[in-house]
Amino acid sequence: AGSYSYLVISTCDVSGDGKSGSCGFVWSASYADGAASARQWFPKAEGIDTRTVDGVSRLYFVSKERKRLLILNLASMTLEFSSTESGAFNRQPDQIKIIAGDSSGMVYFCEDGGSDCGGLYS
């Protein structure tokens, strides 16, 4: 039988408007700690994908409720997040997918939200 680890976000430096920031994180064996962190930082998470560039693995996912793209640097145990309410995402990306063989390409799917959603973008 395997074991589970839960993402727990720790100390954060958040922008004045709360729409972007950088944090530390740990993997915890405590379900309660992981659930509390998820409720605060990334409720309704979707679209998890990974990319390794120059030997550094990153995990990408979206919080639909908080309207955030979260990027975990798995080597440095740091996290960066930014708002999905403006710019290319236009409010509601549902899924993030890395383009195979492309070191910088990313596809995101929008099913609802802003005026430009309802499609597939890269």
Q: Can you tell me the distance from the alpha carbon of 85 to that of 78, in angstroms, rounded to the nearest whole number?
A: 23
For the CA atoms of the chain, what is the radius of gyration? Answer: 15
> How many residues belong to the chain?
122
pLDDT of res. 111: 56
Distance (Å, whole) CA 13 – CA 79: 10
Dihedrals φ, ψ of 36, to 5°? -65, -40
Amino acid identity of residue 92, one-letter, is: Q
65 conformational bin, left if phi > 0, alpha if psi -120 to 50, beta if neither: alpha
Q: What is the pLDDT of residue 43?
A: 94
Residue 81: which of 42, 112, 27, 121 has the closest Cα?
Answer: 42
Mean pLDDT of 97-110: 55
* Sequence spans of domains, the chain: 6-121
Which tops the pLDDT comparison, 35 or 109? 35
Instruction: Flag whether pLDDT at 40 surpasses 60.
Output: yes
- Please tell me the pTM assigned to this model: 0.75
Burial class (CB in 10 A: 0-12, 13-18, 19+), 73: middle
